[in-house]
Amino acid sequence: MQIRMTSIFVDDQTKALDFYTKILGFVKKHDVPLGGEDRWLTLVAPDAPSGTELLLEPAGHPAVKPYRDALVKDGIPLAQFAVDDVVAEYERLRDAGVRFTQEPLEAGPVTTAVFDDTCGNLIQIATQAQ
């Protein structure tokens, strides 16, 4: 069994595409119209074009808003992305205007930071010491 795709609910797919590609550095893989404004919109890491896809899923279902609001209120990230160096990535993203809710924090062999993705979610970045 393998993880081929995971999704993240977003308020606005166009805004999310802009943030996740231009700021975070992901690359668009699929962009298929689904009728109306919704799209099957997936991204991949630039160095893994055949790797796990991230679906930017419309947040229209009524269960999404209370779920995400509760996570944000409690400071719980919806997703985690691995990075080579959390401190360097934190500085790069902060300098690009990204708002962090948790600055880099060491917890044993793991360093994490949490930011607001501007699309309704908190995202954690993490590095594990080698």
Could you state, in order of their start, the residue ranges of all structural domains in the chain? 5-128
Contact 90, 103 (CB under 8 A): yes
Amino acid at residue number 87: V
The H or E element containing residue 91 is helix 86-95
Contact 92, 84 (CB under 8 A): no
Q: What is the pLDDT of residues 26-66, one digit of tens each?
A: 999 999 999 888 999 999 999 999 999 999 999 999 999 99
User: What is the pTM assigned to this prediction?
Assistant: 0.93
CATH code, 5-128: 3.10.180.10
Strand locations in the chain (E):
5-10, 27-33, 39-44, 53-58, 79-82, 100-107, 110-116, 122-128
DSSP result, 113-129: EEEE-SSS-EEEEEEE-
What is the arithmetic mean of pLDDT over 3-19?
96
The pLDDT score that the predictor gives to residue 13 is 97
